Amino acid sequence: MIDHTLLKPDATQEQIAQLCQEAKTHRFATVCVNGAWTSLAAELLHESGVGVATVIGFPLGAATTRVKVFEAYCAIDAGATELDMVLHVGALKSGLLSEVYTDVRQVVEAAAGRALVKVILETGSLTEEEKITACILCDLAGADYVKTSTGFGTGGATEADVLLMNQYTRKSVRVKASGGVRTAEAAHAMITAGASRLGTSSGVQLVTGGEGQGY
């Protein structure tokens, strides 16, 4: 259930290699990395059972749809099995709902049959009504997951948001909790609320009983 995450801009090749080794050791679902490290992660995790998640339009979500689609194609060609794209929050807040839908839909179409798509809502920046609208749009656009946070914005995952996101998406759309999931207790709370995936840089600490920095 854990996406073992390292998205810091100064992450080194050695740290990415360590991330992949930890993911294999603890049988995490994926590693989640920036696009520049996708091919390395895919090579290191080949036939390991651990997937590679690459972020798209990260961390602001304000790139054009064309750029996001191009990023998606590049990531999949480099070995990504999952794409964590950032919602265009400004468009949502502007009421440009067709643009938000199209942005997600075109990435979903680019990934069809090749990679799962998770849409990061950046819940800390949204009102409850905006969260509900975002969930409905992502569901209609064919997203596989809705996800709470980038870890670079305001706020992180909350039980209330996970419950809300489950309420306003169909059962086929899963929820990923990310942002501040640092302890086993926090992870358990998110899972109990309905999260089926956790995004965290503290994955090793979660499964060994320690406490980490969180993502």
Residue tagged active-site, from 68, 118, 131, 147:
147
* Spatial CA neighbour of 84 closest among 177, 180, 189: 177
- 2-56 pLDDT tens trace: 999 999 999 999 999 999 999 999 999 999 999 999 999 999 999 999 999 999 9
Report field, pTM of the whole predicted structure over 0.85? yes
pLDDT range class, residue 209, cuts 50, 70, 90 = confident
C-alpha R_g of the chain: 16
68 flagged as catalytic: no
Choose the catalytic residue: 3, 68, 84, 161: 84
Backbone CA torsion sign across 96, 126, 3, 139: negative
Domains along the sequence of the chain with CATH: 2-208 (3.20.20.70)
Q: What sign does the dihedral 90-53-169-161 (CA atoms) show?
A: negative
Question: Is 176 one of the catalytic residues?
Answer: yes
**Token reading at 153:** 């914005």
Segment 105-150, tens digit of pLDDT = 999 999 999 999 999 999 999 999 999 999 999 999 999 999 999 9
Is residue 158 within 8 Å of 128, Cβ to Cβ?
no
